[in-house]
């Protein structure tokens, strides 16, 4: 939860720069490997504009990986827009 509090504090500085928020979100995902509940809390702390930019960047990145063949399967498998009930401690569900 401490990381989320730090994120919220940082986000306040980015209100005028939604793209900066998206870059920070990407850094968090790459470095901290958050589960769905963590991601949901982070997205809830964003404005609708920031959230839209983050989701667009994530979806564009995922779609380019599917097109390149580095990811297999449907989009929903890689970027679910709802909680699918995955167990973050079960590596087979990643």
pLDDT digits (tens, 9 = 90+) for 59-81: 888 898 899 998 888 888 777 77
**22-32 pLDDT, tens per residue?**
778 788 888 88
d(CA 60, CA 1): 29
Residue indicated by tokens 């401690």: 89
The span from the CA of 21 to the CA of 85, in Å, is 26
- Between CA 23 and CA 28 the distance in angstroms is 9
Domains: count for the chain: 1
> Domain span at residue 57?
2-93
CA 84 to chain centre: 15
Beta carbons within 10 angstroms of residue 40's beta carbon: 13
pLDDT for 94 equals 59
Average pLDDT, the chain: 79
C-beta atoms surrounding 56 within 10 Å = 11
pLDDT tens, residue by residue, 2-49: 777 777 776 666 666 777 777 787 888 888 878 778 888 888 888 888
Q: Identify the residue with better confidence: 87 or 72.
A: 72
Q: How far is CA 72 from the centre of its chain?
A: 19
């Amino acid at each position: 939860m401490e990381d989320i509090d730090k994120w919220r504090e940082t986000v306040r500085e980015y209100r005028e720069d939604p793209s900066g928020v998206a870059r920070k979100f990407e850094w968090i995902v790459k470095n901290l490997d958050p589960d769905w509940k963590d991601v949901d809390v982070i997205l809830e702390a964003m404005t609708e504009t920031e959230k839209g930019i983050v989701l667009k960047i994530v979806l564009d990145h995922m779609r380019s990986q599917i097109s390149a063949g580095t990811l297999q399967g449907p989009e929903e498998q890689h970027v679910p827009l709802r909680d699918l009930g995955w167990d973050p401690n079960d590596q087979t569900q990643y």
